[in-house]
Structure 1
């Protein structure tokens, strides 16, 4: 089995951060979002991974390398234009060959791993080759041609939604329906057999000019190929916007194991589930977890509150921060309270003469803001 991770999107919903950084490399708990998907695949035993890349290909390749640090081998598959999820399958044809594969959206964050999802797939397949579509069974029985991951949502009108029959079989997929047939939304994780290649070659672009993976899966269903589903265990977040990204950061920080490898002076306090990386220093400061302070960062006369991730080589002085993601090299000075914020690499926030009670910002890389 192979893995296919989609990392070609421009990340327009996370601008200005993504003007200068791939959205899949924005950190959650000081680790790029993309790394979580790669690690999930490696843990599930997938060692051959293709990554679809677009305009940020060079940055993604520099961060991931050949995959050896994760125990996998990574191939990079360029997509010149974002022409849909099914188009990604189309251009990955040579890499995928006839192997089964997991397709994973590179900006998704899941609480559960892939092990159970893959185990169910494998339990339903035998060593025998799957039949051609013309010989597929009349109904959704037998080994699946596709397996999708679903989760109940309160607002299914915003998602691709699955319709199930009375026996729980997937009979239709509807994209952002006005009248949803269920509350079960498609999570960005899919499992496919080689039959999906016939499907993506057969469908036409949608009204928005993209080859939709939902259309390809529906083509399988209409052709009599069985499509199965699993229900998500735990939380799922699409990190394409600031607030879901901060929520992902909170969820992951809650699972941290406390560790202090850096320097904490006698006038500083560490409380709760906190990670202080090697080379980081706390001077007359308090960090209350869950939180993480990256290597080389210096926190001076400041308070770092819960659900905050400060990346490597940051400076925080005379400031108070909580529920925020601070990216590498950022500087925060004399800010009375920074909350629910996302700061880009090498950005800077300082306070002027007039003191405000709270500040909320989303800053792009190398930007500077002086607060009144």
Structure 2
């Protein structure tokens, strides 16, 4: 047997597990009728590790009172309590008086059956100073991803990556084997984390650090879904642990002293604790877990539900996918529906119905025949992911109702420190206005100031944040393809999209209902701004050099869009400049978009127009038609925007997403202008474009051309008029691009594995891992990028010739299909 020391990190609060953790620290939450930390102690003891340190922070006495000195489990427990949070590394350093040899660190709130002996052997064989226990995870974005070479040596860390950064499905389990000297990088009392602080330093100093990929079971009990799934995995015999009950045939465990009435029906697998009373005709369906000393009244039924110790269910109770905590009393004919959670000591009177996903905090009393359809007192959303690619979206009064929007508004306001002012804008639809008002109510409830704009498009919302010097903004827009669907987009203080870290802050506050609240005297009146459009147009005109030439030529512009607000404001701006504006009104569904654009192009040629414009529904993007009827699509327009900035003489760096064609970058370098590559999400792009741009100063030209289609059209017309040239002549200057984009469907669970296998296969080639996997060769490049919102991969390919681009795109499409098929 191995002789080393163990350390259990047991300081977690378990915020996402509430209400399970309202009166318990996370390591004390029961799994199969005993605290999850108890399994960690038993695992260490099984492998001969009896000297164990335990780091504590939250409700430490709950743990020390239960485990004492560890004698009951045949181990010696040594407790180290943090007065304030020190991070994962800091909490271990706090126990440095205990650490004098190789140390295995294990979490007190995760369940695993890791073969510790094999992991230690690996650590010693590699002469590693720090070995991280890793595991292959199907959907790795909520974990820290670790990249290793073919010998297991660690090369890179990614903490909770976006899908574009998922270069492997190998995650950090938080189990570490360390030699004592690696902790010398910090002093006792320092706040530091292993993943963010210590391990990157070890990597930089080339300290031997390896990853051991475990084969057994591991689950972080991080939320209610994983909490329930762990029980189901144990019942399915996926975890090698010992249960304190007698095993009966067909996958049933029943503890001593439990009495069964007549006609009880058991559908395995199930687990029943000690001294329970199961009355007549009860149905215990699959994946039912019952703690010690519980009572189940006659004719009741349970399925995929978990009862903690001392809970009492009356007659004809139905529990479906519910969790019921310590000593709750559930009276007759109560219905507990999917994902309902009932806190400790809560009393539900007869006939109560608890709707799906509802959480009831401890010690509540619910009167007879009440239908509980909102959380009491705090809420926890079943899904902890609110944001998609760049916004929150859903159907009105299904996914996004006024209560939801109010909580979202309060969450965003709370995430911003200090005295906060937020611009809240929307288009003119009734649904968007409903959600806008609910968002404002949530903001007001935190004591923050709300400025309301209606009839706005996205560029107006971004500009309003700058104009009013607000701390951020929220824009609500209706999806024209589905009038019942809306999007809610969040802006930072510069008008750019908020970062992923800020999104996580909002998600965490939302999931905990952890909002600032103010009293009545602190509620601020809403500032209503009518006709902000006039300010937007007036300030847009200041960006143009000389409109006199335009008025003299009376350029004819044909304007088209599905966005009514966008067309109105753009038309007014162009007319104010002196253009003659005609309107092309597209009708029908998006699948007819190509027809609408072709119709616009035909009209431009027939009318002899200066140019045609198709404005996106957000008002941010555009497609152009030149005087020859040629359509400049989004990819070519992006290159055109770069060329316009270069020819204007503006020397600001050109910001290009990682997905942009290389020829665009070469064009910029030909003008001796710096190019900055960013990740392709709007938050990163806008952050670079808006960097150090203050209100009242010159608007960043590339931002104007890329994210403010209203002003962009005016600027382009002004630029062409002053040069006495046409759009077509400028388009002729664009370099030839051989660029293709394809999409390949892929189950979410396979994305990380496929990325890892791609990297492994091409590890000897010219590969970039900035965002996705970019593979360069003598034909061009291919970028494989997992989609952040949909179950698919995006494949971008640029070749030096059209044939090379098609060859690259086709070959990697087939490669991905083969890997996905595995």
Report TM bin, short chain: 0.7 to 0.9
Contact 2:13-2:25 at 8 Å conserved across structures: yes
Aligned CA distance change for structure 1 residues 40 and 361 (closer, same or farther; 3 Å): same
What is residue 235 of structure 1 aligned with on the other side?
217
| Residue 256 of structure 2 corresponds to residue 278 of structure 1 | yes
What is residue 294 of structure 1 aligned with on the other side?
273
The DSSP-based 3-state class of the residue aligned with 2:38 is helix
Contact 2:235-2:270 at 8 Å conserved across structures: yes
Query: Where in structure 2 are the equivalents of 1:311-326 lying within 5 Å?
Result: 311-318=291-298, 319-326=300-307
Counterpart Cα distance in 2 of 1:290 and 1:298:
19
Counterpart Cα distance in 1 of 2:80 and 2:129:
24
Counterpart Cα distance in 2 of 1:72 and 1:350:
43
Q: Which of 76, 99, 102 pairs up with 1:100?
A: 102
Q: Structure 1: which 5+ residue stretches go unaligned? A: 125-141, 263-269
Q: Displacement, 1:259? A: 9.6
Counterpart Cα distance in 2 of 1:316 and 1:20:
24
Counterpart Cα distance in 1 of 2:45 and 2:336:
45
Contact 1:146-1:226 at 8 Å conserved across structures: yes
Q: Displacement, 1:157? A: 2.8
Counterpart Cα distance in 2 of 1:110 and 1:101:
17
Higher mean alpha-carbon deviation, 111-120 vs 241-250, is at 111-120
Counterpart Cα distance in 2 of 1:194 and 1:243:
36
Contact 1:28-1:325 at 8 Å conserved across structures: no
Q: Displacement, 1:335? A: 4.2
What is residue 188 of structure 1 aligned with on the other side?
174
Higher Cα radius of gyration:
2
Counterpart Cα distance in 1 of 2:40 and 2:150:
33
Counterpart Cα distance in 2 of 1:19 and 1:38:
24
Counterpart Cα distance in 2 of 1:281 and 1:117:
43
Q: Which of 277, 281, 284 pairs up with 1:304?
A: 284
| Residue 50 of structure 2 corresponds to residue 47 of structure 1 | yes
Q: Deviations over 1:49-79 (max 9, x none)?
A: 0111123211111221211222211011102
What is residue 18 of structure 1 aligned with on the other side?
21
Contact 1:108-1:188 at 8 Å conserved across structures: no
What is residue 199 of structure 2 aligned with on the other side?
217
Q: Which of 143, 149, 152 pairs up with 2:133?
A: 149
Q: Displacement, 1:89? A: 1.4
Counterpart Cα distance in 2 of 1:223 and 1:271:
56
Query: Where in structure 2 are the equivalents of 1:1-372 lying within 5 Å?
Result: 1-96=4-99, 98-122=100-124, 124=125, 143-178=127-162, 179-201=165-187, 211-255=193-237, 272-284=250-262, 285-301=264-280, 302-318=282-298, 319-352=300-333, 358=337, 360-370=339-349, 371=352, 372=369
The DSSP-based 3-state class of the residue aligned with 2:49 is coil
TM-score by length of 1: 0.84
The DSSP-based 3-state class of the residue aligned with 2:53 is strand
What is residue 127 of structure 1 aligned with on the other side?
none
Aligned CA distance change for structure 1 residues 160 and 64 (closer, same or farther; 3 Å): same
Higher mean alpha-carbon deviation, 87-96 vs 234-243, is at 234-243
Contact 2:12-2:109 at 8 Å conserved across structures: no
Counterpart Cα distance in 2 of 1:75 and 1:112:
23
Q: Displacement, 1:357? A: 8.7
Q: Displacement, 1:257? A: 8.5
The DSSP-based 3-state class of the residue aligned with 1:94 is coil
Q: For the aligned residues, what is the CA RMSD?
A: 2.6
Contact 2:245-2:273 at 8 Å conserved across structures: no
Contact 2:103-2:177 at 8 Å conserved across structures: yes
Q: Deviations over 1:256-300 (max 9, x none)?
A: 8999869xxxxxxx7622222111111122333222211111111
- Size of the aligned set, in residue pairs, is 340
The DSSP-based 3-state class of the residue aligned with 1:9 is coil
Aligned CA distance change for structure 1 residues 260 and 46 (closer, same or farther; 3 Å): closer
Counterpart Cα distance in 1 of 2:292 and 2:20:
17
What is residue 542 of structure 2 aligned with on the other side?
none
Counterpart Cα distance in 2 of 1:204 and 1:159:
24
Q: Displacement, 1:148? A: 0.7
The DSSP-based 3-state class of the residue aligned with 1:321 is strand
Contact 2:93-2:188 at 8 Å conserved across structures: no
Counterpart Cα distance in 1 of 2:45 and 2:206:
32
Counterpart Cα distance in 2 of 1:258 and 1:173:
36
TM-score by length of 2: 0.39
Aligned CA distance change for structure 1 residues 259 and 63 (closer, same or farther; 3 Å): closer
Q: Which has the higher contact order (CA 8 A, sep 6+)?
A: 1
Counterpart Cα distance in 2 of 1:260 and 1:99:
37
The DSSP-based 3-state class of the residue aligned with 2:232 is helix
Contact 2:140-2:169 at 8 Å conserved across structures: yes
Counterpart Cα distance in 2 of 1:259 and 1:75:
26
Counterpart Cα distance in 2 of 1:67 and 1:226:
34
The DSSP-based 3-state class of the residue aligned with 2:7 is strand
The DSSP-based 3-state class of the residue aligned with 1:17 is coil
Q: Structure 2: which 5+ residue stretches go unaligned? A: 353-368, 370-822
